[in-house]
Amino acid sequence: MIPPRVEEPIYHPSTLAGDNSSEHALETVGNILPAFDREHLERIEGASASASEICAALQAWCSKRACKVPSQKRLGLYLAGLGFQKWKSNGKMHYQDVRLKGA
């Protein structure tokens, strides 16, 4: 008796214009954002950090580790997923109740 043939999965690119789901999947390989979060962010009620400060720290952190820097959009979605509220002040986006460690 011959065992049934197991088909290999076939990758089919999205036919949707502008679909970048694979781009974001690459950014999460190795859990870049959770690792950065553990090392550099702390939850402090009443504290705040600007999105540009967090993004600059992430870029420096990724540079030291030779890993791909997640997009600002991905970072924003990650922070929103953690429940951090954001607001705009003087043209800069800030996140509430979070700060960079050592800041």
Q: Write the DSSP string, 4-71.
A: PPPPPP------STT--HHHHHHHHTT-HHHHHHHHHEEEEEEEEEEHHHHHHHHHHHHHHHT-PPPP
Global pTM exceeds 0.75: no
Per-domain boundaries in the chain: 30-100
Name the CATH topology of 30-100.
Arc Repressor Mutant, subunit A (1.10.10)
pLDDT value at residue 4:
56
Q: With cut-offs at 50, 70 and 90, classify the pLDDT of residue 102.
A: confident
The β-bridge relationship of strands 86-89 and 92-100 is antiparallel
